[in-house]
C-alpha cells in the first residue's frame, strides 16, 4: 500500500511497513523536507491521545458551574458517546434558552488539520452558526496588529501574503536584502494546508548564489541561515526607531524618492515633519536611534545610503508586531519602502514575513481551493483574539478596537475545537483565573493537552490519518487525496460526525445539508474545480482525482511582483485605502484620537524593554519565538520534539556572557521568573543570542506544579504580558517581556505534561 496524507509541515507518503504498522516518508518532490510529523503516529503519541468521551467529575455530579477552580485538578469520568452528546446538547440548549447565543464563545484557534473539510475551526463555526450563532474572535495571535494596521494603510494582510514577490524574481533583480527579524526557516517549515515543496532555504541559497547582499537586523543571529549574512545586533522591540533613523538619513541626504511619494502616497509631509523633528523638536537621526537600539549611528547612516543606492527588498518578521506598539513597525516598514521608491518593482519594495510561512515568496498560481462554507453568524459580538482573558474576567466591560468601542459579552459556555489556548495565550496564570468564569467548557481534542485537562467535557477527535480529506493550500501548488490510512484510535470520531449528531439533537439540519463526509468532499472539490477552470486550470473529476491521489499544479506557476499593477497604473488599480494610495499619514487613524497609535509611524516606548534595565538590574529580554521541532504545541510528545529538549524541558538559549555572570553552564536547568510567573528550562549557550537577551520557544505543553504554580516544562507564556499592542489593534505583545534567569536548579520536579489526567469510576 502507498497513499498520501498531508500535514502543515508537508505531504507524506504512507507505506505499509508490515504487521499492521505504517511508515511515513517525505514527499519525493520536496527539495528541503522537514522531519516534523514523520512520527505523528505510534505508541509515544498515542499514549497521550484522548480515547473516550470524558466528563469532569464535579461537573458530572453537580452540573454546570460546579467547582470551576478544580479544572485541571478534578478527575474525569469516561462515559458512553450517547450520554456525552446528550450532555453537550442539553447544555447548549440551556445556555441558549437562559442567556442567548451571545453567551457562547466559539473558541477555535490553531492549525487543527491540513485537510480542507475536516478543519476543526471551520467545523465548529459552521455548527454554532447553524444553531443560532456565537461570539467570535477576530484576527490571530500571529498577526493581530498587522491585520488591522495594514488594511488601513496599504492592503489587507490576506492580499499581501498571497502576493509577495517570488523568490525567483528576487534572485534575478534584488541586490540588497534587509531583514528586520531575520528569515527564520524553522517557521516556514509549515503552511496551512500542507506543503509540496519547501522554499525558504532554497530561496535564500539562490539569493546568495546570485551575489545578493543579505543583512539580518535583530537580537538573534541564527534566524537567517545563509552564507555571508551580515548581522546587525539590535535591542528587541526597537526596530521602529532604527527605521526612523534610516528615514531621517534618506531625507537629510536627499535620497528619498520624492516622485514616488508624490504619485503613490499621501501624507508624507506630516511624517517628514515628525522624523526631522520639526513638529516636536526631536530629530529621529542616527545618534538618537543609537541610544535606543544599540546600533552605532555610523552603521545606520551607511545602511540607509546602501539601501537607496541599489534594488532593495526590506523584509520584516511577524514577530516584530507581536510586541508593545506592534502596529508601528508595520507602518514604518511600508513608509521606509515607499521612501526608497521601489514598491512594485521586480525585487524591490517590502516583504512582510518571508520565512513566516512557506507560501510567502511562492510562484505558484493563486487559485481558489476547497473551502467549507461556515454560514452566517447572527451574533454580532466579538473580541480581538488575544483578549479572551479580558472577556472572561470583565463581562460587560468595554474595549477599544479599530476606532470603535465595544462591550465584552458575558460568556457562560466555551466550545473549543482546534487549538490550545494554554499554548498561545499570554500570562497563563491570569488565564487560569479567567478559565474559572464559564459554567461549561467543551473541548474536541485528539490529545490530553492542558486545555483538555481543564475542560468539563472532552470529546475524542480523530487525527488526519484517521479520516478522508482534501489537502490544499494557497500558493502551494498541489491537491492531495488524503485517504484514511488507519482506523480511529479507540472511540475517536471525526469532528463532523460529532457535530452532525449534536445538530440532530438540536434540530439543526442545515449543518449537514443531508450530506455525508464523502459527499462533502466531492462537493467541495467540484466547486473548486469549476473555479480553477475559470483561470485556465483543468482538473479531473472527483473520482479520477481520488484514484490519482495527488495533483501537482506546479506547471501553472509564474513569477510574482507584489503591487506591480498598482505601480504601473495607480488610477486604474487603486489600493483599498480611503485615498486609494499608500497612507503614510492616515487621517482616519489620526481621527480616532488614540494616544498609543498616532496618525503616522512613530517610536513609542514599549511596556518592558532593555532601555528600562539600569546598572544592577539583572533582567534579560525574553524572546518567545516559534519552535524548530514542531508547529506551535503540536506533537510536543513526539520523538522529534522530545529529542530537542534539555533534561526533558524546553531549551532556553543564553549568550555565554550572561550565563557566566550568573554561574550557569550549558545543560543546566534554570528558573525564569518575573511578577507574572515562573518556569524551568534547560540551558543551551549560543553566541547567536546577543547579550541581554534570552530565547525560549513557545509550545512546551503547560505543566504547572499544583501546589507552587511553578511551570516545570518551559512554557514562556507564564511570563509574557497579557495586554494589547495598543487600543487600535489589540494584538498580542508576547515579545515584550523582561525576566530574571537564575540557577542552576537542583532537584527539579519531574515533568508531567504528557501524563493523562486521573480517571475515576462514576460515583466513587
pLDDT band at residue 763 under the 50/70/90 scheme: confident
What phi and psi values does residue 292 have, to the nearest 5 degrees?
-95, -45
558, part of any domain? no
Could you give the CA distance from residue 174 to residue 349 in angstroms, rounded to a whole number? 10
601, part of any domain? no
The C-alpha angle with vertex 640 and arms to 639 and 645, in degrees rounded to 5, equals 90
Amino acid 152: pLDDT: 98
Judged by DSSP in three states, 98 sits in helix
Asked if 174 and 313 count as a contact pair (C-beta separation under 8 A), the reply is yes
Decide the pairing of beta strands 457-460 and 176-180. unpaired
Could you give the CA distance from residue 232 to residue 294 in angstroms, rounded to a whole number? 10
What phi and psi values does residue 756 have, to the nearest 5 degrees?
-65, 160
Could you give the CA distance from residue 605 to residue 621 in angstroms, rounded to a whole number? 15
Query: Could you count the other beta carbons within 10 Å of the beta carbon of residue 741?
Result: 23
Could you give the CA distance from residue 508 to residue 132 in angstroms, rounded to a whole number? 9
Instruction: Report the chain's mean pLDDT, rounded to a whole number.
Output: 96
Amino acid 613: pLDDT: 97
Q: 195-245: per-residue pLDDT in tens?
A: 999 999 999 999 999 999 999 999 999 999 888 999 999 999 999 999 999
Identify whether 109 is a catalytic site residue. yes
Q: Are 232 and 191 members of one domain? A: yes
Q: Are 159 and 135 members of one domain? A: no
Strand-pair partners of 526: none
Q: Are 444 and 320 members of one domain? A: no
Asked if 360 and 351 count as a contact pair (C-beta separation under 8 A), the reply is yes
Could you give the CA distance from residue 133 to residue 127 in angstroms, rounded to a whole number? 9
Q: Are 293 and 206 members of one domain? A: yes
Asked if 104 and 135 count as a contact pair (C-beta separation under 8 A), the reply is yes
Q: Are 317 and 233 members of one domain? A: yes
Residue ending a domain, among 531, 564, 592, is 592
Amino acid 154: pLDDT: 98
Asked if 682 and 697 count as a contact pair (C-beta separation under 8 A), the reply is no
- Report the first-to-last Cα separation within the chain, whole angstroms: 47
Q: Are 232 and 359 members of one domain? A: yes
Return the sign of the alpha-carbon dihedral for residues 229, 231, 237, 240: negative
Judge whether residue 112 has pLDDT over 80: no
Q: Are 158 and 283 members of one domain? A: yes
Could you give the CA distance from residue 520 to residue 468 in angstroms, rounded to a whole number? 11
Look up the domain containing 700 and give its range: 610-742
Among 120, 99, 43, 706, CA closest to 459: 120
Amino acid 673: pLDDT: 98
Q: 446-464: per-residue pLDDT in tens?
A: 999 999 999 999 999 999 9
What torsion do the CA atoms of 149, 150, 156, 162 make, to the nearest 10 degrees?
Answer: -140
Could you give the CA distance from residue 590 to residue 152 in angstroms, rounded to a whole number? 12
Among 46, 37, 42, CA closest to 12: 37
Among 143, 181, 141, 188, CA closest to 36: 188
DSSP secondary-structure letter at 102?
Answer: G
Asked if 78 and 54 count as a contact pair (C-beta separation under 8 A), the reply is yes
544, part of any domain? no
Annotated active-site residue in 9, 111, 415, 435? 111
733, part of any domain? yes
What mean pLDDT do residues 153-182 have? 97
Which parts of 537-593 fold into alpha helices (H)? 542-548, 564-568, 587-592
Which parts of 257-397 fold into alpha helices (H)? 258-264, 268-275, 286-293, 297-309, 327-340, 388-393
31, part of any domain? no
Decide the pairing of beta strands 651-654 and 677-685. parallel
Match 525576566 to its residue by C-alpha cell: 739
Annotated active-site residue in 4, 9, 109, 653? 109
Cα dist from 391 to 60, 420, 432, 438, whole Å: 26, 17, 13, 11
Could you give the CA distance from residue 501 to residue 259 in angstroms, rounded to a whole number? 62
Instruction: Kindly write down the DSSP assignment for every residue of 345-380, as one continuous string.
Output: STT-EEEE-BTTBTTTT--S----------------
CA 585 to chain centroid, in Å, comes to 28
What phi and psi values does residue 245 have, to the nearest 5 degrees?
-70, -35
Q: Are 110 and 236 members of one domain? A: no
Q: Are 586 and 620 members of one domain? A: no
CATH number at residue 462: 3.40.50.740
Match 516544562 to its residue by C-alpha cell: 713
Decide the pairing of beta strands 10-18 and 2-7. antiparallel
pTM, two decimal places = 0.97
761, part of any domain? no
Orientation of helix 327-340 relative to helix 268-275, angle to 10°: 110
Please give the tally of structural domains in the chain: 3
* Side-chain-side CA neighbours of residue 737 (13 Å): 32
Amino acid 114: pLDDT: 83
**Bond from prior residue into 563 cis (ω within 30 degrees of 0):** no
Cell digits of residue 342: 521601489
Q: What share of the chain has pLDDT > 90, as a percent?
A: 94
Could you give the CA distance from residue 136 to residue 317 in angstroms, rounded to a whole number? 27
Cell digits of residue 423: 499554548
406, part of any domain? yes
Burial call 491-523: b when 16+ CB within 10 Å, e when fewer: ebbbbbbbbbbbbebbebeebbeeeebeebbbb
Which parts of 514-649 are beta strand (E)?
A: 550-552, 582-583, 620-623
Could you give the CA distance from residue 653 to residue 647 in angstroms, rounded to a whole number? 14
Q: Are 151 and 257 members of one domain? A: yes
Q: Are 361 and 238 members of one domain? A: yes
The C-alpha angle with vertex 245 and arms to 240 and 251, in degrees rounded to 5, equals 125
Decide the pairing of beta strands 349-352 and 312-316. parallel
Judge whether residue 1 has pLDDT over 60: no
Instruction: Kindly write down the DSSP assignment for every residue of 716-731, as one continuous string.
Output: GGGTS--S-S-TTT--
What mean pLDDT do residues 659-683 have? 98
Cα dist from 339 to 143, 216, 314, 506, whole Å: 24, 20, 12, 58
Could you give the CA distance from residue 741 to residue 661 in angstroms, rounded to a whole number? 11
Q: What share of the chain has pLDDT > 70, as a percent?
A: 100
Judge whether residue 280 has pLDDT over 60: yes
Among 251, 255, 259, 261, CA closest to 309: 255
Could you give the CA distance from residue 613 to residue 621 in angstroms, rounded to a whole number? 10
- 743: alpha, beta or left, given left = phi > 0 and alpha = psi -120 to 50? left
Cα-atom radius of gyration of the chain, to the nearest Å? 26
What torsion do the CA atoms of 80, 82, 86, 89 make, to the nearest 10 degrees?
Answer: 110
Asked if 220 and 385 count as a contact pair (C-beta separation under 8 A), the reply is no
CATH number at residue 682: 2.40.40.20
Return the sign of the alpha-carbon dihedral for residues 525, 528, 533, 535: negative
pLDDT band at residue 657 under the 50/70/90 scheme: very high
Residues with Cβ within 8 Å of 762's Cβ and at least 6 positions away in sequence, in order, are 60, 77, 79
Judge whether residue 110 has pLDDT over 80: no
Match 529580554 to its residue by C-alpha cell: 621
Match 524551568 to its residue by C-alpha cell: 680
538, part of any domain? no
Could you give the CA distance from residue 673 to residue 679 in angstroms, rounded to a whole number? 7
What phi and psi values does residue 524 have, to the nearest 5 degrees?
-65, -40
Q: Are 191 and 66 members of one domain? A: no
CATH number at residue 360: 3.40.228.10
Q: 571-596: per-residue pLDDT in tens?
A: 999 999 999 999 999 999 999 999 99
Amino acid at each position: 500500500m502507498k497513499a498520501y496524507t498531508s500535514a502543515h509541515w508537508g505531504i507524506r507518503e504512507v507505506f505499509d511497513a508490515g504487521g499492521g504498522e505504517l511508515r511515513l516518508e517525505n514527499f519525493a518532490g520536496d527539495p528541503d523536507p522537514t522531519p516534523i510529523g514523520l512520527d505523528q503516529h505510534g505508541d509515544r503519541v498515542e499514549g497521550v491521545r484522548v480515547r473516550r468521551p470524558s466528563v469532569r467529575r464535579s461537573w458530572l455530579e453537580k452540573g454546570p458551574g460546579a467547582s470551576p477552580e478544580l479544572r485541571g485538578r478534578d478527575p474525569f469520568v469516561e462515559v458512553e458517546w450517547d450520554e456525552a452528546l446528550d450532555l453537550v446538547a442539553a447544555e447548549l440548549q440551556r445556555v441558549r434558552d437562559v442567556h442567548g447565543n451571545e453567551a457562547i464563545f466559539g473558541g477555535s484557534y490553531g492549525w487543527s488539520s491540513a485537510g480542507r473539510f475536516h478543519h476543526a475551526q471551520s467545523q465548529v463555526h459552521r455548527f454554532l452558526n447553524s444553531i443560532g450563532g456565537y461570539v467570535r474572535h477576530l484576527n490571530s495571535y500571529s498577526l493581530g496588529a498587522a491585520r488591522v494596521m495594514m488594511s488601513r494603510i496599504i492592503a489587507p494582510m490576506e492580499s499581501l501574503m498571497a502576493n509577495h514577490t517570488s523568490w525567483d524574481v528576487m534572485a534575478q533583480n534584488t541586490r540588497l536584502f534587509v531583514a528586520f527579524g531575520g528569515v527564520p526557516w524553522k517557521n516556514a517549515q509549515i503552511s496551512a494546508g500542507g506543503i509540496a515543496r519547501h522554499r525558504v532555504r532554497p530561496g535564500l541559497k539562490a539569493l546568495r548564489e546570485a551575489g545578493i547582499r543579505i543583512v539580518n537586523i535583530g537580537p538573534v543571529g541564527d534566524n537567517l541561515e545563509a552564507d555571508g549574512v551580515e548581522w546587525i545586533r539590535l535591542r528587541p522591540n526597537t526596530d521602529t526607531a532604527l527605521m526612523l533613523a534610516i528615514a531621517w538619513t534618506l531625507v537629510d541626504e536627499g535620497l528619498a524618492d520624492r516622485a514616488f511619494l508624490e504619485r503613490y502616497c499621501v501624507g508624507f509631509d506630516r511624517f517628514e515633519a515628525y522624523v526631522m523633528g520639526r513638529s516636536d523638536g526631536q530629530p529621529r537621526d542616527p545618534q538618537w536611534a543609537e541610544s535606543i537600539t544599540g546600533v552605532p549611528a555610523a552603521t545606520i547612516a551607511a545602511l540607509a545610503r546602501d539601501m537607496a543606492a541599489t534594488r532593495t527588498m526590506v523584509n520584516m518578521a511577524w514577530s516584530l508586531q507581536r510586541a508593545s506598539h506592534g502596529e508601528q513597525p508595520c507602518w514604518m516598514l511600508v513608509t521606509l519602502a515607499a521612501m526608497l521608491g521601489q514598491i512594485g518593482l521586480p525585487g524591490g519594495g517590502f516583504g512582510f514575513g518571508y520565512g513566516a510561512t512557506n507560501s510567502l515568496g511562492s510562484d505558484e498560481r493563486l487559485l481558489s481551493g476547497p473551502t467549507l462554507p461556515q454560514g452566517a453568524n447572527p451574533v454580532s459580538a466579538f473580541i480581538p483574539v488575544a483578549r479572551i482573558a479580558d472577556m472572561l474576567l470583565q463581562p460587560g466591560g468595554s474595549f477599544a478596537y479599530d476606532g470603535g468601542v465595544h462591550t465584552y459579552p458575558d460568556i457562560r459556555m466555551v466550545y473549543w475545537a482546534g487549538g490550545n489556548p494554554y499554548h498561545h495565550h499570554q500570562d497563563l496564570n491570569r488565564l487560569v483565573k479567567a478559565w474559572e468564569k464559564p459554567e461549561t467548557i467543551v473541548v474536541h481534542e485528539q490529545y490530553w493537552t492542558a486545555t483538555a485537562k481543564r475542560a468539563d467535557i472532552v470529546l475524542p477527535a480523530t487525527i488526519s490519518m484517521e479520516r478522508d480529506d482534501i489537502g490544499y493550500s494557497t500558493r502551494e501548488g498541489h491537491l492531495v487525496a488524503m485517504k484514511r490510512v488507519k482506523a480511529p484510535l479507540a472511540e475517536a470520531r471525526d469532528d463532523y460526525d460529532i457535530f452532525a449528531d449534536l445538530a440532530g439533537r438540536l434540530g439543526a439540519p442545515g449543518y449537514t445539508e443531508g450530506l455525508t463526509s464523502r459527499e462533502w468532499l466531492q462537493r467541495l472539490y467540484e466547486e473548486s474545480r469549476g473555479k480553477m477552470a475559470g483561470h485556465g486550470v483543468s482538473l479531473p473529476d472527483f473520482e479520477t482525482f481520488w484514484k490519482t491521489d495527488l495533483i501537482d499544479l506546479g506547471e501553472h506557476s509564474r513569477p510574482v511582483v507584489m503591487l506591480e499593477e498598482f505601480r504601473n497604473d495607480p488610477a486604474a488599480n487603486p489600493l483599498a485605502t480611503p485615498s486609494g494610495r499608500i497612507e503614510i499619514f492616515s487621517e482616519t487613524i489620526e481621527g480616532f484620537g488614540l494616544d498609543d497609535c498616532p496618525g503616522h509611524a512613530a517610536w513609542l516606548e514599549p511596556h518592558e524593554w532593555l532601555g528600562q534595565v539600569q546598572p544592577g538590574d539583572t533582567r534579560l529580554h525574553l524572546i518567545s519565538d516559534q519552535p524548530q521541532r514542531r508547529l506551535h504545541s503540536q506533537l510536543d510528545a513526539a520523538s522529534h520534539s522530545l529529542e530537542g529538549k534539555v533534561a526533558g524541558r524546553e531549551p532556553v538559549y543564553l549568550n555565554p556572557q550572561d550565563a557566566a555572570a550568573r554561574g550557569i553552564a550549558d545543560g543546566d536547568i534554570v528558573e525564569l521568573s518575573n511578577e507574572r510567573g515562573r518556569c524551568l528550562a534547560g540551558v543551551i549557550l549560543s553566541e547567536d543570542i546577543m547579550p541581554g537577551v534570552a530565547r525560549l520557544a513557545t509550545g512546551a505543553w503547560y505543566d504547572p506544579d499544583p501546589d507552587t504554580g511553578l511551570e516545570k516544562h518551559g512554557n514562556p507564556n507564564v511570563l509574557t504580558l497579557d495586554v494589547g499592542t495598543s487600543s487600535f489593534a489589540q494584538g498580542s505583545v508576547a515579545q515584550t517581556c523582561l525576566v530574571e534567569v537564575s540557577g542552576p536548579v537542583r532537584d527539579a520536579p519531574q515533568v508531567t505534561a504528557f501524563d493523562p489526567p486521573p480517571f475515576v469510576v462514576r460515583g466513587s
